[in-house]
Amino acid sequence: MRSTLRELSDRVAAAMAALGLEGDPLVRPSTDPRFGDYQSNCAMGAARRAGGTPREVAEAILGKLDVADCCEPPDVAGPGFINFRLTPAFLARSLGRVPTAGEPGAERLGIDRTDHPTVVVVDLSSPNLAKEMHVGHLRSTVIGDCVARILEFQGHHVIRENHVGDWGTQFGMLVAYLRRTRPNVLDDLDRLVIADLEAFYVEAKSLFDRDEAFKKQSQETVVRLQRGDAETLRIWRAFCNESLRHCHAIYERLNVSLIDRGESFYNDLMPQVIDRLMRDGHARESDGALCVFCDGFQTREGAPLPLIVRKSDGGYNYATSDLATIVHRIETLGARRVIYVVGIAQKLHFDMVFAAARKAGWAGEGVALEHLGFGNVLSASGAPFKTREGGTVKLKSLMDEAVARARSVLESGGVIAAAGADEDAAADRPATGADAARAGMTSQEMDDIAETVGLAAIKYFDLQHNLVKDYKFDLDTMLALDGNTAPYMLYACARVRAIGRKAGIDFDSFCPEGGLVLEHPAEIALAKSLLRFAETIDQAAADLRPNVLTDYLYDLSKQFSRFYDRKQGVRVIDAEPPGVRVSRLRLCDLTARTLKLGLSLLGIRTLERM
């Protein structure tokens, strides 16, 4: 199934071509339903290039436009906007083609894969293995995972790389401290367990700062590590593996998968990068350091701004490592698109690294290098998110608190404030407190629901925000049972499943006969919303904006609430005649499947009941 937006765009493009007009068809969803469902302002640009008024050009395009099978007769509004209104028959026919349970493509809702798949590398999370993951790693992890899921759904081959910090001076200190404090495990490093990585690092750093003998021992360890001493490398690997164990416990809970590829992986490649830059004349010495100078980058004084790729002491830095990753990803992995999900504060760094890679010829015109920057996570007061002691908040602690709060909400017996819920839907509201006990829900089931809801709340809240904006971390808002939140979205999914149970329908094997009947405005509005799912995925992928998807899912859930509402919508379970009942139950099924698929692209698991 193609998106309606692409279908209309192709038809407008064909009409323009028939008139000899050039330009983008510029079809967009209408922002005001009074002007239809879609709108094109292609006549504006075409008129400038071909002459005549935009309205005259728009009328000429209408004369060549063939959309009778999907739209009411289009009209021209204002100076030359072409308005499209989809017909109920087209909506019914399009949604009727969505595969039912058990049919090929059912899990994708019949949405086509891209005709031009490519290899994409998504660089995400990237914690420093010297410490535990903190709140600062949340955004890169969940945003990167969502982007990867959307691109994979489109049919691209996505490689999720976790560029972990596992190399450098501090690791000499940590290996030396491990030798000093855990000598009993050195002969059997598989037994190495560090309960609190943060505390381990703080203790090692404290000893390093106050004990000259330990400081010297740490520096000597760094040298042995860099020279490839087998015993030192063995202990270093054990420490890294233990650190990664902590990371992957978090990734597993967040439902995130990735490939660990540390800075150490590029250790042998970085000298080659330097040699290639020098050999081809792209780098030169400046004040003892080796630098690449790219056009367009200047200091505040107007002097050329250097990208330092080798420090004056001969050491490498982040620029060297990032250039090495680009070389490996393009030349070895075959990537044609590389997306770095890193804080927006690093924009200049990546702009310069990308410019250097293009100057060196490593990233040609067929390769896209993109920095997907994002803002910071702030406390509820708007200040930097810190512990009371001023340290960074551990991500595990944050997740545990969200789950505990979700458990508390479930046990509170509070009332759901679901938009548009009526008496029929009230019985399907999330079970909480005593209701859960009456429903026969075990403590383990409550724990599982709390884990799903709590972590979904964190992820959804992060993804629904504009990426470049800072946002305030507020668990009360995240866990609200109404509004654009994960609990509300999970409830919307569970609610539809409950409707199916109440109607005696198993949606997992629901294969209705007959076509959809779309007559009531609430039915038509829901159908239009369901049909926009494919183009929403396209837009989210093109713009790399997960909030496009969260906004869509929230709108869909609201449309469904109006559809099922006794006053605004239609009867479903007891609808007559039988063909209408089946049609409306199928709309329920399509809604549940769309919400479930959409949430899965956000990395969020759904629930059968709440």
pLDDT at 388: 62
pLDDT mean across residues, the chain:
91
- Give residue-wise pLDDT tens across range 499-513: 999 999 888 888 888
Residues 533-541 have a mean pLDDT of 96
For 396-601, CATH gives: 1.10.730.10
pLDDT at 381: 81
Q: Same CATH topology for 4-86 and 396-601?
A: no
- Give residue-wise pLDDT tens across range 121-171: 999 999 999 889 998 899 999 999 999 999 999 999 999 999 999 998 899
- Cα–Cα dist 574/501, whole Å: 13
What region does 401 belong to: left with phi over 0, alpha with psi -120 to 50, or beta? alpha
pLDDT at 226: 86
pLDDT at 156: 98
Burial of 125: CB neighbours in 10 Å, binned 0-12, 13-18, 19+: buried
Pairing of strands 471-472, 377-378: parallel
Residues 569-592 have a mean pLDDT of 95
Give the CA count within 13 Å in the CB-facing half-sphere of 493.
Answer: 22
Residues 6+ apart with CB under 8 A from 434: 413
Instruction: Flag whether the pTM goes above 0.85.
Output: yes
- Cα–Cα dist 383/408, whole Å: 27
H helix or E strand, kind and range, residue 388: none
Q: Which pLDDT band, with edges at 50, 70 and 90, does 432 fall under?
A: very low
Q: Which pLDDT band, with edges at 50, 70 and 90, does 525 fall under?
A: very high
- Give residue-wise pLDDT tens across range 553-569: 999 999 999 999 988 99
Residues 192-201 have a mean pLDDT of 90
Domain ranges across the chain: 4-86, 269-371, 396-601
Written as one letter, the residue type at 106 is A
User: Residue 573: how many CB atoms within 10 A of its CB?
Assistant: 16
pLDDT at 419: 31
- Cα–Cα dist 309/270, whole Å: 9
- Cα–Cα dist 30/37, whole Å: 5
Residues 263-282 have a mean pLDDT of 95
Secondary-structure class of domain 4-86 per CATH: alpha beta
pLDDT at 115 over 70: yes
H helix or E strand, kind and range, residue 327: helix 318-331
Percent of the chain at pLDDT exceeding 70: 95
Nearest CA among 475, 506, 481 for reference residue 421: 481
pLDDT at 535: 96
**Range scoring the smallest mean pLDDT among 231-240, 343-352, 416-425, 570-579:** 416-425
Residues 6+ apart with CB under 8 A from 115: none
